[in-house]
Structure 1
Amino acid sequence: MRSVAPQTRDRAATAAHLTVAVALSGALLATGMPPAWAGATAARPALVSTDKSPPQVRDVKFSRAFVAVRGLAVVPVRVSMRVTDPSGVRDDPHEMNPSPQLVLGPVPGHQSKLRPVLTRTSGTATDGIWSATVNVPSTWNGTVRIVSVGAMDKAGNELSTALSGARSPKLRVRGTHRPALTFQYSMLAGGGFRIHGRASFTDTGRPLSRQRLATALDSGCDFDGGAKNNIVTDARGNYEKRFRAGGPGDAGCVALIGGAAHNQRPAILAYRIASAPAYSVPAAAMLQAADLNGTATTPVTDNSWVALRPPQPCGPYASAKLRRADRAVQAMIGVNDRPTVIVNDVAIYASDGAQRYLRDVRRAVATCGHGWSIRASGVAGDESVLLRHREYIDYAQTNKDTYIVVARTGRAVVVVADTGWETADGHEALVRSLSVAAVRRAAVVNGR
């Protein structure tokens, strides 16, 4: 990436900077905890000292008040802070909780913050200036502030404070012809997930073709060691990265990066991150007592009825790998003065898993036999099928029929089965009726 000089109305005025005196009075605690984004404080040896006060930050500033940046260019801007302490400021720039430190935001990147690596550029450990040069991209368009500062001294006293309002120095950025990334996250049928999207300029829509991008998996998405390019967009600006070892809850991210200033990580011009949505089936998605003539359901919390949750004749099916969550209930109701057991299962699938399951079960039942047959289609909406499973009960020397409706509503598969009682058959008419109510209830998982 190339650097460009900022355009201002008066170049002589660009050296103007913002200075903030941070008064370390009652608002600052000697034992203040580090901010959450900074992570755990590194273990440090106990020191015996008469110094019981934390370091004092005398001023914090940007080297200029305004920059203009276009496209993929970056503009170098210096940030600095003066820190004093009688026992000396601990100089640990690469710790998980560095000393001293300052944080900029909001900017593209992990948690929308940037913590540059500070180096003492003048003075001494007891009264010195620590600074860093950061490359400002066009995507910082707007106002970026120094939002927090921190430092530890050699006696073990620590300062950590947020800055806001007039105490928070600001840099105004006019960014034009800015790059951007679209982003989508989807699970893979064989396991893992992929991220994909398009890189382009926001004002013209023109693609960033053959543009190198950095991607990472889960904990690597903080780019703490610096982002590294590992994929390239195509001629239309489209990109894709597959993480076949990624788990359902893992995050994936992509970044457009620029050149790194001296002693700093590469500048992040655009950043996107996501993980799979949390999947759960609420109780409201299940058949209720009102659907069962007042009979309350009980949860199925073990592997009971697993062969019906959902049925997979001649399976298992590949779509099972996209199953993310399910809930099952059962109820014993009376039919013609005899008990029968109803099972209701609702499962949520990632991607097009629910559609795949319906396709899989139709094909399997049509060809595999083993007592399975299709009795009807469309009994609870267009994407539903009524199945019968006939099995021979040896000790009773008779056949027993279980009737099952499987249906899809959005990303969910709904199962309603009448398993009968002991050797007695289930009831086809009953599952036809209950399946309509079950599909209506399950639609809640799709926000309906």
Structure 2
Amino acid sequence: MFVFRLFLATALAVLAGGVAAAPPAVAAGIPGTAMLQPADLGGVKPLDAGRDDWLRLRPPRPCGLTGPAPLADRAVTAVVGGSRPDAVMEYVAVHRGDAAARYLRKLRKSLNGCRDWRLERASADRLTFRWTRHWEHVGEQVTHHTYGTIAHAGGTLVLVADSGWETSSGNPATTERLIIPALRRAATLH
């Protein structure tokens, strides 16, 4: 439905000789109802991510890959889990036409040849990847893995990432589990 409304707004603006504006629901931003909720996160309320938080993953940028400019986007974060918490982030971006699908294809190719990034699993509309970073912590070398599952539904790109906690790595199972309710909630944008 969202894609049809966007198409209709664009067509009407072109016929009128103007430039189409985003539909009102997108122009106002991504509503909280389209993002993961406490029920999805074990009771934890997600918080809006800061402008510069998780920047390399909004959207993922292996080897300098650039993403399309979204009509609207939003990122939220939460710390989930008990004795071994995980810092998770959800990123939702609404794009024109098939830009989300094109970006996902480019991401798949970029992950295959980019140092520190690796494609873990893939299907036609979904990828799970690993981003590896190395640093020194208290005199020891740390190898840290952040996992992400990214999918598109129509013109909407949805990412769930898990960076683990402190020096412990994230968990791909967490991102693959959370992408299901994230896609369901983002579908309200259509």
4+ residue runs over 6 A deviation: none
Match of 1:316 in 2: 65
Q: Counterpart of 1:441 in 2: which secondary structure?
A: helix
Which of these residues, 337, 361, 365, is aligned with residue 111 of structure 2? 365
Q: Counterpart of 1:387 in 2: which secondary structure?
A: strand
User: Equivalents in 2 of 1:345, 1:411: separation in Å?
Assistant: 14
Match of 1:149 in 2: none
Which of these residues, 65, 74, 95, is aligned with residue 327 of structure 1? 74
When you count helix as a share of all residues, which structure comes out higher?
A: 2
Which structure's CA Rg is the greater one?
Answer: 1
User: Equivalents in 1 of 2:34, 2:64: separation in Å?
Assistant: 26
User: Equivalents in 2 of 1:436, 1:344: separation in Å?
Assistant: 12
Deviation at 1:185, TM superposition (A): 7.0
User: Equivalents in 2 of 1:397, 1:274: separation in Å?
Assistant: 53
User: Equivalents in 1 of 2:90, 2:174: separation in Å?
Assistant: 13
Deviations along 1:267-312, one digit per CA (max 9) or x if unpaired, are: xxxxx65613232312111110001111111111421111111101
Q: Counterpart of 2:103 in 1: which secondary structure?
A: helix
Deviation at 1:377, TM superposition (A): 1.4
Read off the aligned partner of 2:90 and give its amino acid letter.
N
Kindly indicate whether residue 30 of structure 2 is the aligned counterpart of residue 281 of structure 1: yes
* 273 and 398 in structure 1: CA distance in 2 versus 1, 3 angstrom threshold: closer
Match of 1:374 in 2: 119
User: Equivalents in 1 of 2:81, 2:159: separation in Å?
Assistant: 20
What is the TM-score of this pair, normalised by structure 1?
Answer: 0.37
User: Equivalents in 1 of 2:35, 2:159: separation in Å?
Assistant: 10
Match of 1:341 in 2: 87
Q: Which consecutive residues of structure 1, in runs of 5 or more, have no partner in the other structure?
A: 1-182, 187-194, 197-250, 255-271
Kindly indicate whether residue 188 of structure 2 is the aligned counterpart of residue 444 of structure 1: yes
RMSD: 2.2
Alignment check: 8 A CA contact 1:253 1:273 kept:
yes
User: Equivalents in 2 of 1:316, 1:367: separation in Å?
Assistant: 12
Read off the aligned partner of 2:75 and give its amino acid letter.
A
Q: Which consecutive residues of structure 2, in runs of 5 or more, have no partner in the other structure?
A: 1-6
Which of these residues, 418, 422, 428, is aligned with residue 162 of structure 2? 418
Deviation at 1:394, TM superposition (A): 2.3
Higher relative contact order (CA 8 A, sep 6+): 2
Q: Counterpart of 1:388 in 2: which secondary structure?
A: strand
Read off the aligned partner of 2:120 and give its amino acid letter.
R
* 314 and 284 in structure 1: CA distance in 2 versus 1, 3 angstrom threshold: same
1:115-264 to structure 2, matched below 5 A, reads 252-253=14-15
* 436 and 253 in structure 1: CA distance in 2 versus 1, 3 angstrom threshold: same
Deviations along 1:339-371, one digit per CA (max 9) or x if unpaired, are: 210100100111221111101100111122x21
When you count strand as a share of all residues, which structure comes out higher?
A: 1
Which of these residues, 96, 99, 102, is aligned with residue 356 of structure 1? 102
User: Equivalents in 2 of 1:253, 1:388: separation in Å?
Assistant: 45
User: Equivalents in 1 of 2:141, 2:18: separation in Å?
Assistant: 60
Read off the aligned partner of 1:305 and give its amino acid letter.
W
Read off the aligned partner of 1:341 and give its amino acid letter.
A
Deviations along 1:37-57, one digit per CA (max 9) or x if unpaired, are: xxxxxxxxxxxxxxxxxxxxx
Match of 1:155 in 2: none
Alignment check: 8 A CA contact 1:327 1:347 kept:
yes
Read off the aligned partner of 1:328 and give its amino acid letter.
A
Read off the aligned partner of 1:389 and give its amino acid letter.
W
User: Equivalents in 1 of 2:75, 2:149: separation in Å?
Assistant: 14
Deviations along 1:5-51, one digit per CA (max 9) or x if unpaired, are: xxxxxxxxxxxxxxxxxxxxxxxxxxxxxxxxxxxxxxxxxxxxxxx
* 184 and 333 in structure 1: CA distance in 2 versus 1, 3 angstrom threshold: closer
Aligned residues: 178
